[in-house]
Structure 1
């Protein structure tokens, strides 16, 4: 992936001193729409925005007269600057300008100004005050007013549902071209955002959420630009590739989110009497346990007729115990890499023996008292497994995956194996 985003030698920056807000307008071949957009935005900011501002036109290697228009605006309006990049990519343009800006708050909006500018101050106010870390305009939040066709509405809602299902995203609108971020947050977050195109927004927001950053959402009035040049199919395919890449990166733990959370002071608030990370571990352990129990019951039911209840219980419990230890190691306790894996499995088998004793003992006691039908057996096993599950969690947290002297903490919600630098 190329990260060459240096401006051309002829680029000149005309800047006001230390603006509070830097609004970036990324453009590619927008020689017709650029000047009216910038002048309208400039007029609005001078009349309505109570802080010092800059408008930065980020030209993404345009092949028409966009660069000349941008330079002319920068020469005419003192609050306007122009940057010319040699390569295309909205994400590349935003990353370059944002990481080189001296403003306190960094924002961007699309050149078509589809979003009503009245939402700009509500967007950046929580960032200026320090209350929030990022802010996004949302076309899907309650109170927003949107004018667009059914096709784009379906695609937008479908994409955000996909993000919720695959990346557990909680923000409502990933792709609205109306966002802002505090400069101190951007300096730490943007270096780990890899995408240079349209997926940049989504990746930034997902990583921000995973790092515990506060994202402020503003309902917006938004009117679709019928002359939009976005290639929907190409953008959708790029987004799907981005989702797959980001899912792998989060799954392998190679992103330094725990370090970022620590640097920005976004670790979970301590609760008296509750160990750090316990709530998240319990939820993840419960999910793994539910899947393991279903697999166990299915294997037991399949094996019982041929092997008998005790043998079926032994085999089903052994198979699911190995899978359960591996899943809890990775999902619940966030342990990455092969270091200690065999030891964890051996300890997991010891924990399995406790579960085997509980379930086998329950079966033996049940058959000593009566000759129960299979449904009663399964019911008893469910209860015994619930008890065994509680014991398993305690043993895994306090023994199998406990923190050892001289080794990194393994029980925080987002600890991973990446170096603690951003």
Structure 2
């Protein structure tokens, strides 16, 4: 197969000390691309730090097979290899797969098709969906599922399988994302996907058939340590707004098509959950402070501290405001809103005692409950319409990229 013009797809195969598997698997991949794949495609062997005959074998394959090339990096690291090849590629869509070809190659077209169609920006294979068929050791399965659950809990990730060695990305998107990715090793995949999601890009998932490589050389303990450090770094940088995602959001961001009622319901649920947490924190803090100060002082301090925490959590979780810009303005507005809500409960209690000198305790509790519900509605309304109003996101729509026509001849 001869590639006419530049390849529509470039598939990178990162390798290190793979002299046994490299030859047969690259021939198998090239044969599949020539006979069963509709787009012109090039294979790039990215040798990163091999000390055996991997590079020599790759060079022979490059000379023997049209549409195969090799790149040599002296330093190891899958992320480092992908950064180099993807940043220099002339293809429209960039992909990578593991040299063991654990993923069934029939999943390659479903992986890249949404990128050509303009439907998605990044595509990944997933071994953890209901449609996947996986042959895998229980230990690896447990670690993989646990890791992806951790990503959901810490980074609010929505993708299901961060580390599957089967991914693709539009070249124009890669040029924007790659400079922001710090990791050069195994955490590269996770960082790529998290930043893509945070920038509002579409991540398409393809269920894959997967057979685990029994000769895998991944050092699990070291990889877990690096992944945990990477998660902590991303949480810190995203929380500080230190990663410049706004230009990508402006260029490629696509609005989520949501029913406004569903979005509002989700926001109300998050607001309510934070309210329960704040109330619990208030009660515990009051009990501690009450040991050394009068009730009214302990009450005011507990309310003030939890109000600050409540505003900070709602700012980040309920309304999705990131970075430090306007943080103090939001806190001041939050305190004003809290004061308005508190005045409703205080005035209701005062009116009750004015009307009845000794109201029954059940009546008092009923009045306070109604007043607190009203205060909660007021606080939510103020948060929605005023406190965080200056940070409403604006994600422009973007016409899908045109799919250029390329010819191929055999």
TM-score normalised per structure 1: 0.82
Corresponding residue number in structure 2 for 1:142: 130
Cα distance, 1:59 vs structure 2: 0.5
Give 1:109 deviation, angstroms.
0.6
CA 1:29–1:215: 2 relative to 1, 3 Å = same
1:392 counterpart residue number: 379
Alignment of 1:60-99 (within 5 A): 60-99=48-87
1:222-268 deviations in Å (ceiling 9; x for gaps) = 11111111111111111111111111111111112232111114245
Equivalent residues of 1:61, 1:86 under 8 A apart: yes
Q: 2:342 corresponds to which residue? A: 356
CA–CA distance in 1 between the matches of 2:359 and 2:7?
Answer: 81
2:392 is the alignment partner of 1:411: yes
1:189-200 matches, cutoff 5 A = 189-200=177-188
Matched, 1:188 2:169: no
Q: Work out the CA distance in 2 between the residues paired with 1:144 and 1:187.
A: 30
- Alpha-carbon distance between aligned partners in 1 of 2:131 and 2:256, rounded to the nearest angstrom: 30
Displacement of 1:78: 1.4
List per-residue Cα deviations over 1:379-413 (Å, max 9, x = no partner).
6545433322332233345444443xxxxxx2228
Aligned to 1:19: 7
Structure 1 residues 320-331: aligned runs within 5 Å: 320-331=306-317
- Secondary structure of 1:54's counterpart equals strand
* Shift in alpha-carbon separation, 1:36–1:16, aligned structure 2, 3 A: farther
Are the structure 2 counterparts of residues 340 and 142 from structure 1 closer, same or farther at C-alpha, using a change threshold of 3 Å? closer
- Higher normalized contact order (CA 8 Å, seq sep 6+, divided by chain length): 2
Residue 173 (structure 2) pairs with residue 206 (structure 1): no
Pick closer, same or farther for the CA change 1:133–1:36 going to 2, 3 Å. Answer: same
Q: Deviations for 1:61-112, whole angstroms, at most 9, x for unmatched residues?
A: 2111111111111111110011111211001111111111111111111011
- What is the CA distance between 1:170 and its match in structure 2? 1.4
Does residue 103 of structure 1 match 2:84?
Answer: no
How far does residue 24 in structure 1 lie from its aligned partner after superposition?
0.5
Name the stretch that deviates more: 193-202 or 382-391: 382-391
* 8 Å Cα contact 1:29-1:66 kept in structure 2: yes
Residues 276-334 of structure 1: CA distance to partner in whole angstroms, max 9, x if unpaired?
x9788656544443332333355567778998986665444333223333444555362
Which ranges of structure 2 fall in alignment gaps of 5 or more residues?
Answer: 396-410
1:290 aligns with 2:276: yes
- Give structure 1 stretches of 5+ with no counterpart: 1-13, 404-409, 415-422
1:58 aligns with 2:39: no
Q: What is the rounded CA distance, in whole Å, between the counterparts of 1:395 and 1:172 in structure 2?
A: 36
Counterparts of 2:371 and 2:286 in 1: how far apart (Å)? 14
What is the TM-score of this pair, normalised by structure 2?
A: 0.85
Task: Give the aligned CA root-mean-square deviation in angstroms.
Answer: 3.1
